[in-house]
Amino acid sequence: MKPGPGRNPAVPAAAGEKGRNGMKTVSYMTCQSRMERQFDRFGRQMPARTESPEAFWAWKKEAGTKLYELLGLERMERCPLESQVTEVCEAEPGIRRERVVIQTEPDVWMPVYVLIPEQAEAKRRAGGRPSCVIAPAGHGSGGKISTAGDQSSAAAALGIRRYHCDYGLQLARKGLVALCPDSRGFGERREPAVQGDRPEQVLASSCRQLAHMAEPLGMTVAGMFVWDLMRLIDYIEERDQWNLEDIGCVGFSGGGMQTLFLTALDGRVARACVSGYLYGYKDALLKLNDNCSCNYVPGLWRYLDMGDIGAMIAPRPLVIQSCVEDPLNGARGMENVREPMEVIRGAYACLGAEDRLCHHICPGGHQWHPEGADLFAAASGEPPYAGWAPEVVKKA
């Protein structure tokens, strides 16, 4: 067909067919392929440098400054924590649960379930310092109620059954003090659009609403998550009852994202486990572009990919837990996981710390596997760590 007057021949003609209600669109002119080319052209301008320890440390300083800026952390405001213990109960025999509320920014409050096992208390009474771990929650879990194993509500029980995500309680059973926060937009911190007590509301989060408010102000949801966890470490230091040299962080899914960013940026985290959140950005977040708004940090992909952020954790002990059939891995599956893992391995090898990195590969879809708690708990002190290997494969 010849182009009509004024029509650009590069623009395809309308494609459609008549249906009952008029023209039915059978092809669309999307821009995803353009975005993919932009990613290839402009993405990852600040890749991890691992040719020498000196190059790595110089890169890490530069990359950390850029990541801090992109997350909008410079716009966060410090304030007194004004911590309060508002209730105390028994989570299960041998584990006390406190509900603590801290102020992370002026008039911004974060409730936290603190699980304190009897063996940790006994160690403290004997003059020792028990280790502690922060356990941020992922989406669809209801926040701290699931990570702390509170099955008093049907919604929390559903979240735990679906994802096995009561890892805060699992770690407390191993003798660690576990701090399970409600991130912004989760649990008691949901914005009005998703508040309510119906199960679907309890398990929902208001990341989208937070993103709409934050991003035009130069802030990000991921940045607010990380800031609040940094303030939780401030609380741990202020409380001064646990081992400040062995603060850990463990998270699944969106909690894994928080763990990744926090541990990369805050050297006070001594060891970490990231579950269900390690893959290349292009396949997992650009092509799968209907993920939660909290995953999208303006400008981030221009500088760093996820493997680079993970590399910033070296040489501290790190467990990465991946599931073979996790749809969030993207269309290439585990290939899109192993690529960023190789970037992280390069950083650990550069620093002579290969024995401080473990990739736990599990069967099935998007879920937490409790063996991750075993591997994390083993990573205290100097390696070798019980059960660790470059790859630990769980059989179906």
Query: pLDDT tens digits for 29-41?
Result: 999 999 999 999 9
The CATH fold of domain 32-393: Rossmann fold (3.40.50)
H-type helices in the chain, by residue range?
32-42, 53-70, 118-125, 144-147, 154-163, 167-172, 199-202, 207-214, 221-239, 254-265, 281, 306-311, 335-350, 371-378
Q: How high is the pLDDT of residue 305?
A: 98
Domain extents in the chain: 32-393
Distances from the Cα of 23 to the Cα of 11, 14, 20, 328, angstroms: 19, 10, 8, 35
The rounded distance, in Å, linking the Cα atoms of 129 and 120 is: 8
Spell out the residues 6+ positions from residue 270 whose beta carbon is closer than 8 angstroms to its own: 245, 246, 247, 248, 316, 317
Q: How high is the pLDDT of residue 22?
A: 65
Six-digit token string for 325: 């059939």
Q: Give me the residue label for tokens 């092509």.
A: 287
Q: How high is the pLDDT of residue 20?
A: 60
The rounded distance, in Å, linking the Cα atoms of 213 and 224 is: 12
Residues 111/100, Cβ–Cβ less than 8 Å = yes
Residues 163/366, Cβ–Cβ less than 8 Å = yes
Q: How high is the pLDDT of residue 385?
A: 97
H-type helices in 199-270, by residue range?
199-202, 207-214, 221-239, 254-265
Measured in degrees and rounded to the nearest 5, phi and psi for residue 320 equal: -110, 125
Q: How high is the pLDDT of residue 26?
A: 83
Residue 322 identity (one-letter amino acid) = S
Question: For residue 7, how far is the Cα from the chain centroid?
Answer: 48
Q: What is the pLDDT of residues 144-168, one digit of tens each?
A: 999 999 988 888 898 899 999 999 9
Residues 335/392, Cβ–Cβ less than 8 Å = no
Spell out the residues 6+ positions from residue 234 whose beta carbon is closer than 8 angstroms to its own: 81
378 pLDDT above the threshold of 60: yes
Q: Give me the residue label for tokens 């760590």.
A: 385
The rounded distance, in Å, linking the Cα atoms of 94 and 277 is: 32
For residue 13, give the DSSP letter. P
21 pLDDT above the threshold of 70: no
The rounded distance, in Å, linking the Cα atoms of 170 and 376 is: 11
- Mean pLDDT over residues 271-287, rounded? 98
**pLDDT > 90: percent of the chain:** 91
Measured in degrees and rounded to the nearest 5, phi and psi for residue 198 equal: -70, 145
The rounded distance, in Å, linking the Cα atoms of 372 and 352 is: 23
H or E element at residue 6: none
Task: Return the ∠ at Cα 394 (arms to 389 and 396), rounded to 5°.
Answer: 165
- In terms of DSSP bridges, do strands 108-117 and 95-105 run parallel, antiparallel, or are they unpaired? antiparallel
Nearest CA to 46 among 269, 287, 309, 259? 309
Q: What is the pLDDT of residues 40-80, one digit of tens each?
A: 999 999 999 999 999 999 999 999 999 999 999 999 999 99
Mean pLDDT of the chain: 94
Residue 314 identity (one-letter amino acid) = A
For residue 290, give the DSSP letter. T
Nearest CA to 246 among 365, 343, 76, 130? 130
* Burial call 243-273: b when 16+ CB within 10 Å, e when fewer: bbebbbbbbbbbbbbbbbbbbbbeeebbbbb
7 pLDDT above the threshold of 80: no
Q: How high is the pLDDT of residue 153?
A: 83
Rg of the Cα atoms in the chain:
22
The rounded distance, in Å, linking the Cα atoms of 157 and 317 is: 31
Residue 178 identity (one-letter amino acid) = A
Q: How high is the pLDDT of residue 8?
A: 56
Six-digit token string for 344: 């992280």
Q: How high is the pLDDT of residue 3?
A: 47
Residue 191 identity (one-letter amino acid) = E
